[in-house]
Amino acid sequence: MSEKPKFKKVFSQISRYSTVGLELGFSVAIGVTAGYYCDRWLGTTPWMTIFLLLCGVAAGFKRVYLALKSLEREQEEEDAANQ
């Protein structure tokens, strides 16, 4: 019986980590794509692409940071409950 909750916890952590990776990748891809089309529309090649790429990278790293802080908080709560 004790293995089922442990399995669920591991599966939850794996899904959370994969989601963070996807968020990082998608935020960069969305930034590049939006920048590319803004450059085509405004004729500012490559400045909007570079700017929105950097915004996408910043947004992705922010999500990674928040996920790590959440994981750290959960670990501290688990350690406090085990003591």
- pLDDT above 70: residue 77: yes
* Alpha helices, DSSP H, located in the chain: 3-42, 47-82
Confidence band for 1, pLDDT divided at 50, 70 and 90: very low
**Tokens (6 digits) for 80:** 């406090």
Confidence band for 38, pLDDT divided at 50, 70 and 90: very high
Domain count, the chain: 1
Percent pLDDT > 70 in the chain is: 95
Asked if 53 contacts 25 with a C-beta cutoff of 8 angstroms, the reply is no
- pLDDT above 50: residue 22: yes
Tell me which residue range forms the domain holding 47.
Answer: 3-82
Distance CA 4, CA 35 (A): 46
Distance CA 70, CA 11 (A): 17
Q: Which pLDDT does position 3 carry in this prediction?
A: 56
